[in-house]
Amino acid sequence: MEISFLSGFIASSVHVLTGPDHLAAVAPVTARKEKKHWRVGFFWGLGHLFGMLLLGVLFLAFKEVFPVDKIASASESIVGYILILLGIWVIYKLSKKRGRHIHKHIHVNEKGETVIHEHSHSHPHEHDSLEGKKLASEWMIFGIGTIHGFAGVSHLLIMLPVLLMENLGDSVLYLSGFVLGTILSMTLFAMVLGLIRNNMKTGRLLHGFQLVMGVISIGVGVFWIWSN
């Protein structure tokens, strides 16, 4: 029975981490967040599971009425457009100018002379610093994960072992391993990426890192549309 659980865990982990569209969807948003990066991967994993479940239910219930398999295949292109939009969003945020404010401080030194010091610092636009912005919110990530889970009939193939297992306990263990592998693998990926992001020593380096994530997302999105 442990083999069933391990099989489900490995199958889902490999599926999630070897999908360039999966990684390209999580990376840009993780690169933008300053903390709680794990939530990006966690909510994407939940959405991915929900999308696969939705696809399975629709396929079983309406396969005689609607071409669910063709709809799922066509939705692969939607995934590509989402990745392009995510990449554009990141680049757009990076290109926005930040306002600079000059502050003057006047004080008297030991000689009785009046000295004026000026310094400036940047203040990001208020809406740029809000973690609750819709596009970067956990529920938006959940929605993207749902679309990923719904796109592609290949997701149903990963669930076939459940139907082939004669023992109900083995099926439950396989599903449990699959659920844990999907959520845990993407959560860990987001955490590692967030750790890299937070260890960027300079603003320029962080800017470049975020820019690369945005470009990769666009590139994978274009390839996804072209290949489908």
The dihedral of CA 92, 228, 158, 147: what is its sign? positive
Choice between 112 and 89, residue whose per-residue pLDDT is larger: 89
CA gap 110, 59 in Å, rounded: 82
Choice between 79 and 139, residue whose per-residue pLDDT is larger: 79
Domain definitions of the chain by residue range: 2-96+131-227
Q: What is the pLDDT of residue 186?
A: 95
| Residue labelled with tokens 């590139």 | 219
| Residue labelled with tokens 């903390």 | 35
**What values do phi and psi take at 130, rounded to 5?**
-80, 120
Within 24-159, strands assigned E span 99-108, 114-123
pLDDT band at 193 (very low <50, low <70, confident <90, very high): very high
Check: CB of residue 21 under 8 Å from CB of residue 225. no
Q: Identify any residues that bridge with 156 across adjacent strands, giving them in sequence order.
A: none
Check: CB of residue 157 under 8 Å from CB of residue 12. no
CB count in 10 Å sphere of residue 128? 12
- What is the tens place of the pLDDT at every residue in 135-187? 457 788 899 999 888 887 677 777 777 777 878 888 889 989 999 999 999 99
Listed residue (178, 191, 192) closest to 149, CA to CA: 178
What's the chain's Rg over C-alpha atoms? Answer: 23
Tokens read off for 109 = 């030194």
pLDDT at 46 over 90: yes
**What values do phi and psi take at 202, rounded to 5?**
-125, 155
Q: What is the pLDDT of residue 157?
A: 75
pLDDT at 42 over 80: yes
- What is the tens place of the pLDDT at every residue in 58-72? 877 777 777 777 777
pLDDT band at 101 (very low <50, low <70, confident <90, very high): very low
CB count in 10 Å sphere of residue 148? 27
